[in-house]
Structure 1
Amino acid sequence: MDVKRVKQILSSPANIPVSYNGVSVWIESCDEESAVAQVHDITNPHETVQVNISELQE
């Protein structure tokens, strides 16, 4: 995935499925300059991790 698509997903009112390493995640935010997104596992919203945007899949 790229930064542009992550920003589209963040601004979309729809629930767009995204995964990281085969796990469904929710994107909380993205840093365009470092190409990193803050995400959390849909089943564990209290634990966020930073991941490279290129590793996210739609």
Structure 2
Amino acid sequence: MNVHRAQEILAADEKIEVDLNGLAVWIDSVDAGKGLVKVHAEGNPADARVVPARELEEVH
């Protein structure tokens, strides 16, 4: 996914499902300048990591 879409998902009122290598994650923040997104595993906020936006996939 691109950084712009990650920002849209973060700002959305509804839940939009996002995966990181098959793991359901929540987007916590987006650093558009660096193309990085901070995410955490769904149901486990302690499992946070910063990844390139391109590694995220929107689930349809």
For the aligned pair, the TM-score class normalised by the smaller chain equals over 0.9
Quick check: 1:52 aligned with 2:52? yes
TM-score (normalizing by structure 1): 0.95
Q: CA deviation at 1:47?
A: 2.3
Q: CA deviation at 1:43?
A: 2.4
Unaligned runs of 5+ in 2: none
* Cα distance in structure 1, aligned partners of 2:11 and 2:40: 17
* Cα distance in structure 2, aligned partners of 1:18 and 1:49: 14
- Of 20-29 and 42-51, deviating more is 42-51
Coordinate RMSD, CA, aligned: 0.7
* Cα distance in structure 2, aligned partners of 1:32 and 1:3: 6
How many equivalent residue pairs?
Answer: 58
1:1-58 → structure 2 map (5 Å cutoff): 1-58=1-58
* Cα distance in structure 1, aligned partners of 2:45 and 2:7: 20
* Cα distance in structure 2, aligned partners of 1:33 and 1:8: 15
Unaligned runs of 5+ in 1: none
Aligned-pair identity (%): 38
